[in-house]
Structure 1
């Protein structure tokens, strides 16, 4: 049996085009596809050649009010592996985001930040 792999995750954001562009700027990804989606919405697929993040908006998403860490099925964070943690952190900070929870651990280093949609990102390097 061939090894399974994660192709994509899909989550709702307020502005898929804006979020897609930030992810491209921060991580060197590219927009693989974008177009119309269910409920008169829009979706962007952004990532690399083997995996991507699907960014969806129905046009007027509802604001979440519960902590994802306390909600069954909630999205807790998205982890992204980078080669140069410090350079990536500088790009994220230059975009106006505050980083937090820095940690060095075996076998790597990491930090977290939240975007304006309340999505927590973990950025990790094993270099």
Structure 2
């Protein structure tokens, strides 16, 4: 078994997807009208993706991470070259934080578009 996708709500699925494509080299796998007159963009690679869903109504503010049941804490992304991706993250205007180097890999986090936190890790 493997994890295929995670679906998260964002204010603008297209713009959020564009940032992730620039940072991680992902592609749009599918996009179009979705549940309850919303819009979804599936962005990722051939194996897995994030389903970015923008509903037809205004979203409520995010709940505090790590404090709410079923809340999204962060999205983990494995990359081959951590330093290159960190440079892209900085160039896009995001601030990497919480760097760590422990088995099995090096990592950092950043608060990306729409305040979704991403963990970027390399296992080489």
TM-score normalized by the length of structure 1: 0.92
In structure 2, distance between residues paired with 1:116 and 1:63: 16
1:94 to 2:111 alignment: no
| Correspondence for 1:12 | 9
> Which stretches of structure 1, 4 residues or more, deviate above 6 A after TM superposition?
none
Output one character per residue of 1:58-84: Cα deviation in whole Å (capped at 9) or x when no partner.
144323242131100001110000000
Could you state the TM-score of these two structures normalised by the residue count of structure 2?
0.94
Instruction: Describe how 1:56-71 pairs up with structure 2 within 5 A.
Output: 56-71=53-68
Q: Which residue of 2 aligns with 1:108?
A: 105
**Alpha-carbon contact 1:20-1:55 (below 8 Å) kept:** yes
Q: Tell me by how many angstroms 1:54 deviates.
A: 0.2
Cα distance between partner residues in 1 of 2:5 and 2:76: 12
- Structure 2: state its 5+ residue gaps: none
Q: Secondary structure at the match of 1:88?
A: helix
Checking the alignment, whether the CA contact within 8 Å between 1:12 and 1:61 is kept in structure 2 is: no
Unpaired segments ≥5 residues, structure 1: none
Report how far residue 35 of structure 1 moved: 0.1
